[in-house]
Amino acid sequence: MSTVETDPAALRCGSLTDGDRPDREPSVDVLSAREVPLGGPRALRVRRTLPQRSRTLIGAWCFADHYGPADVAATGGMDVPPHPHTGLQTVSWLFSGEIEHRDSLGTRALIRPGEMNLMTGGYGICHSEVSTPRTTVLHGVQLWVALPEEHRNTGRDFQHHVPEPVRTDGAEIRVFLGSLAGTTSPVRTFTPLLGAEITLGPGASLDLAVDPSFEHGLLVDSGDVRLLDTVLRPAELGYVPCGTGVLTVVNESDAPARVVLLGGPPFGEQIVMWWNFIGRTHEDIVRAREEWEASSGRFGAVEGFPGGRLPAPQLPNAIITPRGNPARR
């Protein structure tokens, strides 16, 4: 897992005045995914677009896995034993299937299409994720949010939210975090964020008013979708820097298209990310790994999971240091 550092010079990005607005539409950076197996002989393969060398953060969003549609009879579905997290929030969002979530708060909850589960790791939490027996096709995204220094050791928490769909201009929008299209999610976060699923009808065009102090990423699940001046294919993520107040999204396909829109102001802190931990130094990561391997009370325990915990991998034989987003040219 790569580590992350934001570029302080790129963080001064408030709302633009009319005199500051660019004369031309901003370009879109296209981020391609890489395939990663999630363990086991019949591993569920995911497409990972964050982090990568060309872009490690979009706002506080620091991790994006996109998976499916996967035939559970062939892949075995999702079966992730109890594992730890620190310094982050996890956001689970499904398009199809059903996953049972258990955590060391004592939460036992189902993740279903159109329903968001947000778990706060803070100082330490552990959880398991298992697709249910009635799931035949598993399809969705798993997202992480880095917690700012002020809150990275906060207590464990779990929130569930079912956003009402907003229908406009041939599209259906479900806002699970932040505000968009006249609707606001009640879910608590520690930095300003935007997260929404958008389904566009064939040929539909949508102008989305967004916060110009945010940078944005559009992850395409299905269809060919034009974001501003750039066509994105399935599994690609288009990045737009802050300074843009309207995002034009067009379905170039003759079938419905589905995308996930992420956004937030540039994250103004250096962070170190390794395995399931986010800290500020190499020593933070070493300590978290040692405490997980020692079954310390920092992470608690998941009750009712029929099996053991997931062991931590070996640390690299090097100091884990932050890495920043390269400057945009």
Digit-by-digit pLDDT tens for the chain (329 residues) are 322 323 333 334 543 433 334 445 678 999 999 998 875 555 688 999 999 888 889 999 999 999 999 999 988 899 999 999 999 999 999 999 999 999 999 999 999 999 999 999 999 999 999 999 999 999 999 999 999 999 999 999 999 999 999 999 899 999 999 999 999 999 999 999 999 999 999 999 999 999 999 999 999 999 999 999 999 999 999 999 999 999 999 999 999 999 999 999 999 888 899 999 999 999 999 999 999 999 999 999 999 999 999 999 999 999 998 865 666 65
Nearest CA to 325 out of 2, 5, 3 is that of: 5
Q: Is the pTM of this model over 0.85?
A: yes
Q: Cα separations (Å) of 53 from 1, 69, 323?
A: 11, 27, 9
Which residues have C-beta within 8 Å of that of residue 290, sequence separation ≥ 6? none
pLDDT at 148: 96
Which residues have C-beta within 8 Å of that of residue 56, sequence separation ≥ 6? 2, 4, 5, 50, 62, 323, 324, 325
Tokens 């249910």 label which residue?
132
pLDDT at 279: 95
Q: Which two tokens stand for residue 123?
A: 């100082």
Q: What is the DSSP letter of 256?
A: -
